[in-house]
Structure 1
C-alpha cells in the first residue's frame, strides 16, 4: 500500500447481513467498495426485471443507501431515493408515483432545480418504459430512479450508479459483480431437485432446508456471466477483500461463479482475503458449520481458477460460548466445527472473537468486525 493512501476494502456481500459492518467501516479511514449480487429475483426488483428484462437493481440501491447512511447523508435526494410507495390500493400507488414523476412531491418541490431535473428525467424514462399496467405498490422510488438512469444511459449500469452516487453525494462505491442482464441463480439440493430463483433459494421450505444445498449456478440471458470491469479494477487495487457476512449460497458464494472474479482475486497476492462467518444458520445453511462452509467455498474457488492460491488468509468466527446447540427464533447459532483444522488446511488464520451484537441477538456487531478488519490491515 502506497504511503499516505487510504487502505481499500472490497466487501462481497448481500444486503441486510452486512449493513452494520458497512456502517461501521464508513467511520474508519478506509476506501470502501461493496460488490453486490446481480441476481436478486424478489420484491420490487422482481417486478421490474420481469417487466423490462433488465439487471436487478434492488441490492445496488440498498447498498448505496447504506453507504449514504454511514456517510451521514440525509438530504432530500437521499430521502427520495429511500422512499417506498404505498402498499395499499393500486390506484393510490400510481397517484403517489405521479407526485414524484411530475415534481409535485414536497421533497422535490424544494430541491435545487438541477437535482430535481435529473431525478424527474429518470423517473419519466422509467414510466415511459414500464407501460400502463405496471403495479407500483410498495415500489422503491430509488429502484425506479436507478432503473431509469440505467435505461437513459444506454443500459450502462456503471454510469447509472455513478450518476446515482453523485445525486446522493455518496463517496463509497457499489458495483454489481456482473453487468449482464437477466442473471438468474438456481440451486441443486442434495436429493437432486432444483430450485430456480434467488428468492426461492433464500426462502427454502422446511423440507428443502433440511435436505440442504449441493451446489448453485448462475445463468444469463446472453449465455455467460462476465465480471463487471469496475469489479475487476476494484479487486486489483484492494488491500483487503472480505467475503460476507451474508447468505452463503445466494449472496456470497455465487460471486465465485462470475467469470473472471476468482482469477482477479488470485492475482492480487498482497491483499488480505477474509471470510466472515455468519452468527446464525439460515434456511440455506441449516445443518452446516463454518468449517464445512469454508471447504465448500474452497472447492468452488479451485474449480473457478483459483489454482494454488489460498482462497482466504483469515477467517473471522464468532466464539462458541456454550457446549450445546442454542437457537434464536427458528435457527440455531452457526457452529464453528473443525475450524482450526479447516483453516490450517487452507493456509488461513482463524480469528475467533465475540462478534455478536449484544443488543441484537443473531446479528453481527459491526463495530467489532470493523475493528478486527482494521487491525488486520495494520499488520
Structure 2
C-alpha cells in the first residue's frame, strides 16, 4: 500500500499500550515512530534507577519486545528475566543491557538504535527525553506525590501533573511530530503512560503546530484503577488538549458508548478487542482502524 511509504505516523505513550499500537504499525517501518514515556519507577526499572540513576527503560524495552518479528538468540537475551534468589531476581536483561550502554556514555537514543538493529526492528523508538525525570501529581486537597507507583496508589482526585525536574524533549521526537501525518495518543495508563510525554512543552507545542496531522486518541478497552479510574473520558481528552496548547483531538476511537461526547469530539465506535482477551487491543483490528483514518 502506498500509504506505508507516503504517510508518517507518530504514536505517544508507554508500556503495553504503545507497544500494541507500534506492532499494529510495523508495516510502516521507518515511517512509524513511537515516543516513549521514561518516568517509570516500579519493578526492575525502578530498582535500576534507584541504584544507577538514568531514565526508565522498561517501557522502551516493552515496545521493542512487541516489535520483534524474527525470534533469535538475541531476542531471547533481550526478553530474558532472571529468577531465583539474590539481587538479579526479577531483573530483565533488556533493561540491564540498555542501562549498561547508558553507563558507557552511549546516548540513550543511540543505545536504542543499536538494540533495534540487533533485533531487526524497523519502527523508530525514541525516548520522550534523554534526561531522568519523575512524574509528580497534585491532589485536589493540595498534596504533592512523586513517582508513578505512588501516584497510581493515590485515593484522591488529581488536579495537576508535573515532571520533576523539568527536562527537554528528545529533539528527534519533536522532529517526528512536526513531520507526522497522524499523531496517536493511547491506549494505556492515562496518568502514568500517556500524559508524561505531553508534559514536555516542546512536544505539546509540536503537536499544536502540526495542523496537517490527524490527532487521534485511542480509548482503553477496560477501566483503570487509581486516580485515572475516577476520571471521565471527557476529562482525559480535556487534559490532553490542554497539554497540547488547546489543539483539538480530531478523532476518538474505541468500543465505548460515546454519545455524550459527540457534541465536542468526533468519536468512532470500532471493534478493537482481541478475541481471547477482551481488555487487550487486537493488532490487526488496530491496524485497520488506524489505516482507515489515513
TM-score by length of structure 2 reads: 0.91
**Map of 1:40 onto structure 2:** 40
Closer, same or farther: CA 260–21 of 1 in aligned 2, 3 Å? closer
Residue 297 of structure 1 corresponds to which residue in structure 2?
Answer: 240
TM-score (norm 1): 0.72
Find the counterpart in structure 2 of residue 259 from structure 1. 201
Tell me how far 1:30 sits from its aligned partner: 7.5
Q: Does 1:11 align with 2:11?
A: yes
Are 1:145 and 2:67 matched, yes or no?
no
Deviation of 1:28 after TM superposition, in Å, equals 5.9
The alpha-carbon distance between structure 1 residues 340 and 268, as it changes in their structure 2 partners (threshold 3 A), is same
Counterpart position of 2:164: 219
- CA distance change for structure 1 residues 262 and 197 in 2, over 3 Å: closer, same or farther? same
Q: CA deviation at 1:73?
A: 1.9
CA distance in 1, matches of 2:118, 2:144: 41
In the superposition, relative to structure 1, how do residues 257 and 3 fare at CA in structure 2: closer, same or farther (>3 Å)?
A: closer
Q: Which residue among 230, 238, 250 is the counterpart of 2:172?
A: 230
Gaps of 5+ in 2: none
Aligned pair partner of 1:287 in 221, 225, 230: 230
Q: Number of matched residues?
A: 292
Q: Which of 116, 130, 137 is residue 187 of structure 1 equivalent to?
A: 137
- Alignment of 1:175 with 2:126, yes or no, is yes
- How many angstroms apart in 1 are the aligned matches of 2:4 and 2:269? 31
Deviations along 1:235-260, one digit per CA (max 9) or x if unpaired, are 12211110000111111122221131
SS at structure 2 position matched to 1:241? strand
1:185 and 1:279 mapped to 2: Cα distance? 24
Task: Measure the CA separation in 2 of the matches of 1:187 and 1:140.
Answer: 28
Aligned partner of 2:260 in structure 1 is: 338
Bigger radius of gyration, 1 or 2? Answer: 1
Superposed CA RMSD in Å reads 2.1
Q: Deviations over 1:51-106 (max 9, x none)?
A: 122111111111111111xxx121111110110111x211xxxxxxxxxxxxxxxx
Gaps of 5+ in 1: 91-134, 321-335, 344-348
User: Is contact 2:65-2:79 (8 Å) kept?
Assistant: yes
